[in-house]
Amino acid sequence: MFRWRSIRTRLTLLFFAITLAAVGFVYVYLAPQLESSLRAEKLRSLEQAANAYSGRLNNPIDLSERQLNSSVRAAAERTSTRVTLLSVRSEDPPDTYVISDSNQETDISDLQFGVADQAVATRKVVTGTEHSDDGELGQAAKPLFSDEKVRRVVVFSAPLADVADNVALVRRQILVAGGLGLLLALIASTVVARAISRRVQALEEGAGRVARGDFSARFPDYGDELGKLATALDDMQRQLAQLDSARKRFIATASHELRTPLFSLGGFLELMEDEDLDEETRRAFLRQVREQTQRLQKLATDLLDLSRLEAGSLELRPEPTDVGSLARAVVAEFAPAIAAHDSQLELRIARTPIEADCDPERVAQVLRILVNNALTHTPPGTGLVVSAARQNGTLRLAVRDDGPGIDGDLERVFEPFYTSDDAQGSGLGLTIARELAERMSGRLDVHTTPAGTTFALRLPI
């Protein structure tokens, strides 16, 4: 069953069927058309002969029987046909009888000469066919007039056996050529189908290796449509390798990030079971447990947000939004944290509304991440600036700090769980912020100097 469903078998059968259909079309359609054309040409030549060589027979009454027979035979010799002259007794209905025939040695009693009666009735040249004991005949009958009456009819006839023989020969040649064509088509289709099947099989084997987790597999480029498929599969393989590497790194880092607060919680709980602890130490342990619990909650929330973003299941709800008012509201949420950080925050937002069509909840989430990131990774007392403005046809929402700047590769700050210092955090905030920016058809840029760092969200207006 699999062999019958294979591409090789299907392509071979397809090429064979196409060739067979072409041969059948030629045999069934063109051969009858050829026969019809040859018969029509034969009758046309008889009609031309009747028009060209019946002049001497136009007044047969003036000729003797011997002269009449001689004229009939002469016309037959010139046209290579059989000429029969018939007399008309009456025209309504036509009644004709033979008075001379160029082939007197052959009995013509089996012929009815229906074309002669039609020629008398229509008073013009009529062509047709008639069956005889020697086979089918083609006939052309021309009426001969005397005193505007049809007195005689001359019939030029020729056998159509040569037409049938020629058509039969053509049919045999078609069958022979068709048979050879089918054989060649079968061989060629088998070779082509085998080559295509091998290519597909190579792609299938490569895809199977990738499915088993072997990302070292490569797909050959054949330079055709299958080559384009191979290129697409190769790109898919590289992306899957990158995703697999990122997944493993993500799992390892997430496990490590979760293990630390969990171990801390377990240790603090064991210590709190000691009945000899004083109240102050117990409160300190409870404070540490609360901080680790909050860290776990934030990590779990960030992991959930990141997984929803990567899965593409996060739904955006854009609407007309005053980004200036939105920024003021978000900054107000951080008043206690800014005070605890002993920092000064400056708002640089125009008094006029800054309208943009965006998802206010997600823009606020990005701004919270940027403000929280600045507070977490800068020394106490560091100044902060939050600004919002239109710039070059885009909306620019930025958070700048006066901290010491970021050391190392700036792009790494957007990697999951990466932190450039020892500050507490999940290391997922900037990753989520960049993903959200890209989902909103924008981008998140970072610029750093020893005098400070600026994160800027740019969105289309």
Whether 361 and 392 share a structural domain: yes
121 assigned to some structural domain: yes
165 assigned to some structural domain: no
3 assigned to some structural domain: no
Whether 335 and 444 share a structural domain: yes
Q: How many domains does the chain have?
A: 3
186 assigned to some structural domain: no
Whether 61 and 138 share a structural domain: yes
CA angle 423, 428, 432 (to 5 degrees): 140
Residue span of the structural domain in which 337 resides: 319-460
108 assigned to some structural domain: yes
Whether 301 and 364 share a structural domain: no
Whether 337 and 307 share a structural domain: no
> For position 322, what pLDDT does the model report?
92
Whether 330 and 407 share a structural domain: yes
Distance CA 453, CA 326 (A): 22
Long-range contacts of 231-234 (CB under 8 A, 24+ apart): 233/203, 233/206, 233/207
Secondary structure class of 235 (helix, strand, coil) = helix
> For position 371, what pLDDT does the model report?
93
Whether 306 and 334 share a structural domain: no
123 assigned to some structural domain: yes
Q: What is the CATH number of the domain that holds 258?
A: 1.10.287.130
Q: What is the CATH number of the domain that holds 424?
A: 3.30.565.10
Which of these, 105, 35, 37, lies nearest to 76 by C-alpha position?
Answer: 105
Relative to beta strand 82-91, strand 384-391 is unpaired
Beta bridge partner(s), residue 396: 389, 458
Whether 93 and 134 share a structural domain: yes
The secondary structure element, H or E, covering residue 135 is strand 135-146
Domain boundary among 159, 193, 213: 159
SS (H, E, C) 412-453: HHHCCCCCCCCCCCCCCHHHHHHHHHHHCCCEEEEEEECCEE
Could you say which residues of the chain have pLDDT below 50? 1-2
405 assigned to some structural domain: yes
Relative to beta strand 135-146, strand 149-159 is antiparallel
The secondary structure element, H or E, covering residue 339 is helix 335-340
Whether 249 and 370 share a structural domain: no
For the chain, the C-alpha Rg in angstroms (whole number) is 51
201, two tokens = 């099989």
Half-sphere exposure of 304 (CA within 13 A, CB side): 6
Which of these, 356, 296, 305, lies nearest to 326 by C-alpha position?
Answer: 356
Q: What is the CATH number of the domain that holds 145?
A: 3.30.450.20
Q: Name the burial class of residue 433, with classes exposed (0-12), middle (13-18) and buried (19+) by CB atoms within 10 angstroms of its CB.
A: buried
313, two tokens = 């299941």
Q: Tens of pLDDT along 97-137? A: 888 888 876 667 778 888 988 998 888 999 998 988 778 88
244 assigned to some structural domain: yes
Mean pLDDT of the chain: 80
Domain boundary among 129, 159, 189: 159
On whether the CB atoms of residues 244 and 213 are closer than 8 A, the answer is yes
Whether 128 and 254 share a structural domain: no
Whether 360 and 433 share a structural domain: yes
Is pTM beyond 0.85? Reply is no
Distance CA 427, CA 414 (A): 9
Domain boundary among 159, 186, 202: 159
> For position 291, what pLDDT does the model report?
73
Whether 77 and 146 share a structural domain: yes
